[in-house]
Amino acid sequence: MSVSTQCALFSLSAAGWITRMRLQVGHWFSHGRVPYAWLVLSLVAVGVPLVSGDYWLNAILIPFLILSLAGLGLNVLTGYAGQTSLGSGGFMAVGAFATYACLIHFQLSFLLAIFLGGGVAALVGLFFGLPSAKIKGFYLMVTSLAAQFFLEWVFVKFPWFYNYSSSATISSPPITVFGWAIASPLSKYYLVLVLVSFLTWVAVNLTRSQVGRNWMAIRDMDTAAAVIGIRVHRSKILAFAISSFYLGIAGALWVFAYLGSAGVQSFSLQRSFQVLFIIIIGGLGSISGNFIGAAFISLLPLLLDFLAHTFFARMVDAGLLQNLQKVIFGSLIVWFLIKEPEGIARFISHLRGRLAVWPLRF
């Protein structure tokens, strides 16, 4: 009774109404059970491509989703379990080439092939994660570089992996999923959307479970983690495997849903850096951060391009623009590490907190 009276009084004032809306919105986004926010997001994810053109699908939305997935993979390892890796590109390559092998050499269906591809990547990741029992920090990071360079070499040196094609690249054969041909940009987008959504849901489950807590405990203090009975090495290796599984799926999608045909140079060390930047900018140890970071890294070049063409038409060439982009990315990385070490995801949640109480300060 008194509550409803208060509510009635409250809603008389416009400021009160705004506050309520803000608190409500903040509530949707800050808690696990967020039916409305999810509904809106899903509607956008499903609906936007219907009105946007093929260019947006092909050049922005599909790579954005795949990079988010790759970020998710690295974030499991680095953001949650605290093991820095520069081998993301290599594990993406394993996923792509293993999926290709399943499709071409073993004639498997696409979904089976891509999950097997992820599985192979997980095994390779597990293998390169084994040294984490004995070595830590930078030393372990160098192990990941060993993986990166070794894997790049493997997928150039052994023609079986690219079916003896003269260009040393793999090309996507026609793909069907449950009898549905994945050929148009829209169908590829939906395929990627479904896979990424599913894997994100799994990642959310994992990070909120005991497994995820073990990872974070190891990240924050591994000696203490061992003392309270966490199997530290097993947890680390699990993080390597799951991380590589996600990266492997992302790598396969990169070839089969985005580029159409690619060689190992699509998964070079530069790709590893890109994925690392996504999680630093988006937020280490955050699920939504991967999407924010990937969006940022996909959209920034477009924005720069647009600005350059609008204001300095013909004055800047492509090379200069590329260097400018590097400078901006580099500065942003440093800026984020200094000012917002937990990335844009945390920045937004702070902002939301402030917005929620803002009208009350009148």
Other beta carbons less than 10 A from residue 309's beta carbon: 13
Picking from 209, 201, 273, the residue whose alpha carbon sits closest to that of residue 235 is 209
Nearer to other proteins, 102 or 238 (CB): 238
d(C-alpha 47, C-alpha 206), whole Å: 29
The amino acid occupying position 77 is L
Other beta carbons less than 10 A from residue 119's beta carbon: 18
- Minimum Å distance from CB 192 to other proteins? 20
H or E element that contains 346: helix 343-357
Nearer to other proteins, 102 or 232 (CB): 232
- Minimum Å distance from CB 95 to other proteins? 18
Q: Residues 254, 67: contact at Cβ < 8 Å?
A: no
- Minimum Å distance from CB 13 to other proteins? 30
What's the DSSP call for residue 362? -
The amino acid occupying position 242 is I
Nearer to other proteins, 61 or 241 (CB): 241
Contacts of 333 (CB under 8 A, 6+ apart): 277, 280, 281
Nearer to other proteins, 134 or 361 (CB): 134
- Minimum Å distance from CB 299 to other proteins? 18
SS3 329: helix
SS3 286: coil
Chain positions contacting other proteins, by CB under 8 A: 84, 131, 134-135, 137-139, 141-143, 145-146, 149-150, 152-153, 156-158, 202, 205-206, 209-211, 213-214, 216-217, 219-221, 223-232, 238, 269, 273, 276, 280, 285, 319-320, 323-327, 329-334, 337-338, 341
- Minimum Å distance from CB 356 to other proteins? 16
Pairing of strands 180-182, 175-177: antiparallel
Nearer to other proteins, 188 or 236 (CB): 236
Picking from 282, 328, 283, the residue whose alpha carbon sits closest to that of residue 303 is 328
Nearer to other proteins, 61 or 238 (CB): 238
d(C-alpha 192, C-alpha 64), whole Å: 10
Residue 84 token pair? 């820095």
- Minimum Å distance from CB 205 to other proteins? 5
Nearer to other proteins, 16 or 346 (CB): 346
Cα Rg of the chain (Å, integer): 22
- Minimum Å distance from CB 252 to other proteins? 19
Picking from 251, 224, 334, the residue whose alpha carbon sits closest to that of residue 69 is 251
- Minimum Å distance from CB 10 to other proteins? 26
Nearer to other proteins, 114 or 206 (CB): 206
Instruction: Dump the DSSP string for 231-279.
Output: -HHHHHHHHHHHHHHHHHHHHHHIIIIIISEE-GGGGSHHHHHHHHHHH
What's the DSSP call for residue 175? E
Q: Residues 192, 64: contact at Cβ < 8 Å?
A: no
Contacts of 336 (CB under 8 A, 6+ apart): 280, 281, 343, 344
- Minimum Å distance from CB 107 to other proteins? 27
**Strand pairing partners for 184?**
none
Nearer to other proteins, 123 or 202 (CB): 202
- Minimum Å distance from CB 204 to other proteins? 9
Nearer to other proteins, 115 or 256 (CB): 115
